[in-house]
Amino acid sequence: MTDSKLYDGITDLGADAAAAFDIAALDRDFYENPYPVFHALRRHAPVHRLPNGAWFLTRHADLDAAYHDPVLFSSDKTVDFKKTMGDTSLYEHHTTSLVFNDPPGHTRVRKRLAPAFTPRALRALESRVREVVDASLDEVAEMGSFDLLHDFAMKLPIELIGDMLGVPREDRHLLSPWAVAILGGLEADLAPAQRDDAALAVDNFKDYLRWLIAERQKNPLSGEDGEVLSKLVGPDAEGDTLTELELLHNCIFLLNAGHETTANTVTNGVDALLRFPDQLDRLRADPELIVSGVEELLRFESSVQLNNRKLTADAEIGGVAMNKGDYVWLCIGAANRDPAEFPDPDAIDIGRDRNKHLAFGSGIHACAGMSLGRMEIRIALNGFVQRFGQIEPSGTALHHPRARFRGFVDYPVTASV
């Protein structure tokens, strides 16, 4: 291997590029393809200090260790989000979500969510997933030319989370714009206008959920409808009750966490298969490969690229000393292309058999919805590539200019059987 060429055509940008990397100053090339930058960082500056003093980690082993030490690597963001979010409802939302809290607050909420994601609960949801996917496939088949992300991939998570929270069908169009605005509020270079849009979305979402909960209390739903919401309202078996804000913000978080992540994985996955047509043929010939195939696509184009932690004590990683209070970026996108963990990391092998990717994080904060997400992606992705024998991009698809979440702004395609 020479210095200029790394893996499958990815060029080593070199030590200077790694040293100059700043997560708060990214350009369009980075958003389209961040992997050359990630390789340079992992190779030349795996424990990289950003201009604002935070650390940026890119090795799989370092991320894995951080995820499994939640005492040293805290998820509490009350101090850090204050700087970018100020005293807004956006701040209130993110600092009340379980993902940005440490035990015991985190443990309480996580325990309340667990019944929604048991294998039994998921089996009950599977027929609904198939129903939504089949209906969406019929719709886009009729259209012929359509937007893969908005006309197909986004439909499923919105319907499912809408079902879980018991949101009336006619209101579901409200959910996606709120989720996108609120998650956009997590970007490192948050502009005031973006922050205000995100805070307004939180206010609107909260008002909506207050109304929904009041409705539910007046007219309780029977059966599976609104199951998660009804389980979260009121005390649990030990008599512990979530506060109103915990309830509202964690419902909002559920939608946000499971919506774009899943839709982007389906779209990123189709895009990746179109770039590796031999793998697309392989999947079409052997649909059972969807199980390992989805893991590979989650690894290859992880829809969540970054997580954050804060050190609660002095620490050392890879011989670099860090201080208590330092902020740490965990770069999933880089770890999932680490050649020390994944042979041939920049190629897709849908049959890859040892695939310890970190697309869902790991440790106590590992994605609570990963089984649901996996099921949705398998059924949607396989449904799409098996239904349409011809899939052609029909325009330029640009990536969303956000570092934390990887996905397209839109993805025009033409598809036929």
Say which DSSP state 226 is in: T
Q: Answer yes or no whether residue 373 interacts with ligand HEM by CB under 6 A.
A: yes
Q: What are the residues whose beta carbons fall under 8 Å from the beta carbon of 102, sequence distance 6 or more?
A: 70, 74, 75, 76
**Helix (H) / strand (E) containing 65:** helix 60-67
- The Cα 184–Cα 407 span in angstroms is 13
The residue (of 261 and 279) whose beta carbon lies closer to ligand HEM is: 261
Considering only the C-alpha atoms of the chain, give the largest distance between any 2 of them, rounded to a whole number of Å. Answer: 69
Say which DSSP state 152 is in: I
Decide if 183 contacts 405 (C-beta within 8 A): yes
Residue 126, both tokens: 């599977």
- The Cα 95–Cα 79 span in angstroms is 9
Q: Answer yes or no whether residue 393 interacts with ligand HEM by CB under 6 A.
A: no
Q: Answer yes or no whether residue 402 interacts with ligand HEM by CB under 6 A.
A: no
Q: Answer yes or no whether residue 297 interacts with ligand HEM by CB under 6 A.
A: no
Q: Out of 46, 162, 369, 407, point to the residue binding ligand HEM (CB under 6 A).
A: 369
Smallest gap from residue 13 Cβ to ligand HEM (A): 26
Residue nearest to ligand HEM (CB): 369
Smallest gap from residue 262 Cβ to ligand HEM (A): 5
Q: Which amino acid is at 91?
A: Y
Q: Out of 45, 99, 132, 179, point to the residue binding ligand HEM (CB under 6 A).
A: 99
Q: Answer yes or no whether residue 258 interacts with ligand HEM by CB under 6 A.
A: yes
Stretch that binds ligand HEM, among 17-25, 28-36, 205-213, 256-264 (CB under 6 A): 256-264
> Interface residues for ligand HEM in 109-148 (CB under 6 A)?
110, 113
Q: Count other Cβ atoms within 10 Å, centred on residue 5.
A: 11
Stretch that binds ligand HEM, among 4-12, 178-186, 232-240, 353-361 (CB under 6 A): 353-361
Residue 148, both tokens: 């893969």
The residue (of 265 and 382) whose beta carbon lies closer to ligand HEM is: 265
Draw the binding track, 152-181, toward ligand HEM (x: CB under 6 A; -: no contact): ---------x--------------------
- The Cα 105–Cα 15 span in angstroms is 42
Closest by Cα among 409, 360, 109 to 257: 360
Residues within the interface to ligand HEM (CB under 6 A): 75, 98-99, 110, 113, 161, 254, 257-258, 261-262, 265, 303-304, 307, 359-361, 365, 367-369, 372-373
